Structure 1
Amino acid sequence: MLPPTVTDSIGSLHTKTHFSPVPLSVLKGDSPVILGVDEAGRGPVLGPMVYGISYCTSQYQDEVLIPHYDFDDSKKLTDAVRRDLFHKMYETRDIEDVGYATTVITPTDISSGMLRFPPSKNYNLNQQAHDVTMDLIKGVLDRGVQLSHVYVDTVGPPASYQKKLEDRFPEVGAFTVAKKADSLYCVVSVASVVAKVTRDILVESLKRSDDEIIGSGYPSDPKTVKWLRETQTPLFGWPIEMVRFSWQTCQTLMKDGNNGSIPIEWEEDFINSKKNMAQQWTLDDQNSKKVITLDSWFI
């Protein structure tokens, strides 16, 4: 059975969010509730970026999760161990007192945000990550959960990010934003596993055949670069549901005429580029020079 965090996202071009039911032990309020946030897939050129959260009582973390389960930074665990841990959360319910949620940010939405025009309106990856994190926290609060402490694996400078979260959620008892939080706090480790398993399954679903080799998805992976080169089409590049066109790796390949790519120069880029200002057309308007740009020719 596939995790519920992936079912709506398979084949989707747009961002999807899933919330698990809130555990009864959390709603009772007998023990402080803690929440962890982590992501998977920030750096790859292929596939989505997935944000995961997990939350439970501090008592459940200390008395059940830490002594009985091997949660850790998901990158340190094998794929089989990660999937088994998450399976115990959503299927067998061996780990029944942990709530979780994910937001799957698709390559299409990542690229659409980062490539907004003009560039001053770009919605960069840090902004996207911050907004998704705050939406997930808000979603838990809206479900009646009172959070005593939220632990976040940092995106950008920890101090300014923590201040941003504290200002946004004054009702939360405390925030801790730290580097390597998934190795320091068990509740973040759980979120890391949820995010990583969700992303891995979604990346697998992108393969068009069982024997297709796409590598890890990172630009530094020779297998991924080989796949990009071999599957690139001259005009459209790659399937938009698979590839983040905003990554420099893709932009370099798309501009490389040696691989058959068709170079495209956009009028807006030309008009707004300072280095091309000297090339703008001029017309003699009653003995004075007047700058005329192509966009003024059309209604």
Structure 2
Amino acid sequence: MSLKCETERSKTWQDFADGVPCVLGIDEAGRGPVLGPMVYAAAISPLDQKEELKNLGVDDSKALNEARRDEIFEKMQNDEEVQQIVAYAVRCLSPELISCSMLKRHKYSLNEVSHEAAITLIKDALACNVNVVEIKVDTVGPKATYQAKLEKLFPGISIHVTEKADSIYPIVSAASIAAKVTRDFRLRNWNFKEKNVKVPEAGFGSGYPGDPNTKKFLQLSVEPIFGFCSLVRASWKTASAIVEKRCVPDSWEDDEEEGKPQSKKMSGWLQPKNEDGDVAPKKSVYFKDRHMSNVLTF
């Protein structure tokens, strides 16, 4: 996991259905957790295979137990007959990518991150010669605004954005299963980039802030100087509150030299100086004292 996000495709995604009109569904898994990636998935299926898709047993991933989800996803991956009924692609957005997006000077909300992932998957299906004529999407944010955004980007395709789409449309249910199983696998097999991360004997749990194992992991693993490891979404309030309480207070040279009161919060320097955050970064005292400025041309 890193700041780079790639689209991962199932075996039959490219040129799926050989030009037969298809429906595409999009859903995500892991929007709320403080740990691990958020996974966006798209599933595609021929319009005339709706009953066959239903017979596969797809449903909202939250309505299926883990064993049933794994069974259906295994068929989507390896059963040749099922691969002609449905194909999928996923994008795994790492905790680092999510946090960096949300902590930019010009903030990039989680809704915007989600929309970009969904749009990228739709574009990928079209680029892979899939004849997408319908799109069903589980909404993120106001559904009318989201639908209008997609209709502008993909004119000529019938698009429906709604709440609970994963319970209404089998194709979104298939995407929901792909997203959920992929996220669970990545979280369960997480490979820490950092050394000596402290993990409780019971593990770090589901990643949701209310999970006792996740709470214990956050308290145990925070490092006084460097904060959290890359498994943690540092932009989440759950994590930032622990950083403010448990980590060493910060000190900024510019404030000291200008006689300003010191911020007690490590995250204080990330806050914009006015309401819209459009103020350019202030020049460091170091450069002011030496009459140094940026050189844009030679």
TM-score of the superposed pair, with normalisation by structure 1: 0.80
The 4+ residue runs of structure 1 with deviation greater than 6 A are 207-210
Deviation at 1:14, TM superposition (A): 3.1
Q: How many residues align?
A: 262
Alignment of 1:159-198 (within 5 A): 159-172=144-157, 174-198=158-182
Alignment of 1:1-299 (within 5 A): 12=2, 14-20=4-10, 21-22=12-13, 26-29=17-20, 32-62=21-51, 64-66=52-54, 68-97=55-84, 98-117=86-105, 121-172=106-157, 174-206=158-190, 211-240=201-230, 242-256=231-245, 259=246, 261-265=247-251, 269=269, 273=273, 294=285, 296-297=288-289, 299=292
Percent identity, aligned pairs only? Answer: 38
CA 1:211–1:37 in 2, change beyond 3 Å: closer, same or farther? same
Instruction: Tell me, in whole angstroms, the C-alpha distance in 2 between the residues paired with 1:253 and 1:162.
Output: 37
Does structure 1 retain, via aligned residues, the 8 Å contact 2:136–2:172?
A: yes
Query: What is the one-letter code of the residue matched to 1:156?
Result: G
Question: What are the ranges of 5 or more consecutive residues in structure 2 without an aligned counterpart?
Answer: 193-198, 255-267, 275-282, 293-298
Deviation at 1:273, TM superposition (A): 4.1
Identify the range of structure 1 (98-107 vs 205-214) with the bigger mean alpha-carbon deviation. Answer: 205-214
Question: What are the ranges of 5 or more consecutive residues in structure 1 without an aligned counterpart?
Answer: 1-10, 275-291
Instruction: Tell me, in whole angstroms, the C-alpha distance in 2 between the residues paired with 1:270 and 1:28.
Output: 49
For residues 249-290 of structure 1, the C-alpha deviation after alignment (integer angstroms, 9 at most, x for no partner) is 11100000xx4x11225568399546xxxxxxxxxxxxxxxx
> SS of the counterpart of 2:62?
helix
Instruction: Give the superposed CA RMSD.
Output: 2.6
CA 1:162–1:86 in 2, change beyond 3 Å: closer, same or farther? same
Paired position in structure 2 for 1:285: none
Query: What is the one-letter code of the residue matched to 1:236?
Result: F
Instruction: Tell me, in whole angstroms, the C-alpha distance in 2 between the residues paired with 1:175 and 1:82.
Output: 27
> SS of the counterpart of 2:23?
strand
Query: What is the one-letter code of the residue matched to 1:151?
Result: K
